[in-house]
Amino acid sequence: MSDALWWTAEDARRVTADPTWAEALLDVPALVVDLRDDQEVGEPAPLRHASCPVIALVPGGAETSWPVDLVLAAGSPDAALLGGSLEEAASILTDRAAANPTAAATLARLLRLTPALEVGDALEVESVAYSMLLAGEEFRRWLAERPAPRPPADAEADAVRTDRQGGTLHVTLNRPQVHNAFNAAMRDALVEACAVAIADWSVGTVVIDGNGPTFCSGGDLAEFGTTDDPARAHLVRTARSVGASMHRLRDRLTVRVHGSCIGAGVELPAFARRVVAATGTTFRLPEVGMGLIPGAGGTVSLPRRVGSARTLLLALSGLEIGADEALRWGLVDTVE
């Protein structure tokens, strides 16, 4: 088991009565509060400002007013995704947090903020946090441990294909040889395609899909770690934000996903008004395991679709979910 703290409700109320309690959690990767036997009537402990992810365990069918990041209820489908008992499910999450505690803490704290912010402001905050982690020890360790990446591809003229038919603009991710890995060329082409529709209201519908067996396999690993100036990368990322462009188009935007949706392949479709998944589609956010957080807008788009708690569950666990589960959550609107 990781170095996470496990508290009872009584522990939580007693410890947080000390004004310096939050500082004591700085080196704790996660906090689990077991509320299953909480019989005390009164105010919950003020855990919203904890420096690490806070997970509550509650009885089946119960709700809680405690300000925690994630609630695991006995017998709930979300807890069952992690398998085993509530203790085992919580241990999976705390072990993941312990492997990359800075990324896990940054994610949890960001998800407490972004749902209350305007989308543009939330994207700005996410990008600052992502850039900070790019310069961090956890990401550098991940880079050092992974196999040497393939060389970056030569400049691509058709990383994205567009086809206008009447009032519908079809936009297709077109790097099937690398499972539509999201790189700078694809980012810039998507921003340009969205700009056409934003400027031209005769484009009544925009449909985004992917060529090949995979909708999008996430960020192109050939480009990971290649920037020597994360601060400059933040300025570029926010100036050429696909998420911001898709948000502006959301009421006219449908994204059709299939195969594997990883990282950006989960985050970007969530900005659309309608997401259609092919049967067999899977979804996964691997970034915390890399010492990062979702950085393509996922801390902004996903909470608005599935809530902050499920966003944290998906990102912290690294869990892969299928199309039916995504439909139950509201991550997709239709499976066909």
Q: Is residue 206 within a helix (H) or strand (E), and if so which, with residue range? A: strand 205-210
Q: Is residue 174 within a helix (H) or strand (E), and if so which, with residue range? A: none
Give pLDDT, residue 40. 65
Residues 146 and 54 in one domain: no
The stretch 46-67 carries a mean pLDDT of 89
Give pLDDT, residue 176. 94
Residues 35 and 123 in one domain: no
122 domain residue, yes or no:
yes
Q: Looking at the 3D structure of the chain, how many domains does it have?
A: 2
253 domain residue, yes or no:
yes
The stretch 322-328 carries a mean pLDDT of 97
Per-residue pLDDT tens digits for 143-157: 888 877 666 555 567
The stretch 158-167 carries a mean pLDDT of 94
Using pLDDT thresholds of 50, 70 and 90, give the confidence band for residue 181: very high
Residues 31 and 89 in one domain: yes
For 5, 34, 56, 148, the CA distances from 17, given in Å and listed in that order, are: 17, 18, 19, 50
259 domain residue, yes or no:
yes
How far is the C-alpha of 296 from the C-alpha of 173, rounded, in Å? 15
The stretch 237-255 carries a mean pLDDT of 93
HSE-CB for 156 with a 13 A CA cutoff: 22
330 domain residue, yes or no:
yes
| Contact (Cβ atoms closer than 8 angstroms) between residue 249 and residue 212 | no
Residues 203 and 163 in one domain: yes
**Token pair for 293:** 């957080």
Residues 175 and 79 in one domain: no
Give pLDDT, residue 1. 45
How far is the C-alpha of 5 from the C-alpha of 197, rounded, in Å? 50
Residues 72 and 200 in one domain: no
Buried b / exposed e along 300-323 (16+ C-beta atoms within 10 A): bbbbbbbbbbbbbbbbbbbbbbeb
Using pLDDT thresholds of 50, 70 and 90, give the confidence band for residue 42: low
274 domain residue, yes or no:
yes
Residues 195 and 306 in one domain: yes
What does DSSP assign to residue 216?
A: B
Residues 85 and 14 in one domain: yes
HSE-CB for 242 with a 13 A CA cutoff: 25
**Residues across the chain:** 336
111 domain residue, yes or no:
no
124 domain residue, yes or no:
yes
106 domain residue, yes or no:
no
List the domain range (segments joined by +) for residue 272: 117-335
Residues 159 and 266 in one domain: yes
Residue 170's closest CA among 186, 190, 145, 156?
Answer: 190
Residues 95 and 121 in one domain: no
The stretch 57-64 carries a mean pLDDT of 85
The stretch 321-335 carries a mean pLDDT of 97
Residues 130 and 46 in one domain: no
The stretch 206-229 carries a mean pLDDT of 88
Residues 19 and 69 in one domain: yes
Here the CATH number for the domain that contains residue 307 is 3.90.226.10
For the chain, the maximum distance between any two Cα atoms, rounded to a whole number of angstroms, is 65
The stretch 20-36 carries a mean pLDDT of 91
How far is the C-alpha of 85 from the C-alpha of 312, rounded, in Å? 19
Give pLDDT, residue 83. 86
Is the model's pLDDT at 41 over the cut of 90?
A: no
Per-residue pLDDT tens digits for 75-133: 899 999 998 889 999 999 999 999 999 999 999 999 999 999 999 999 999 999 999 99
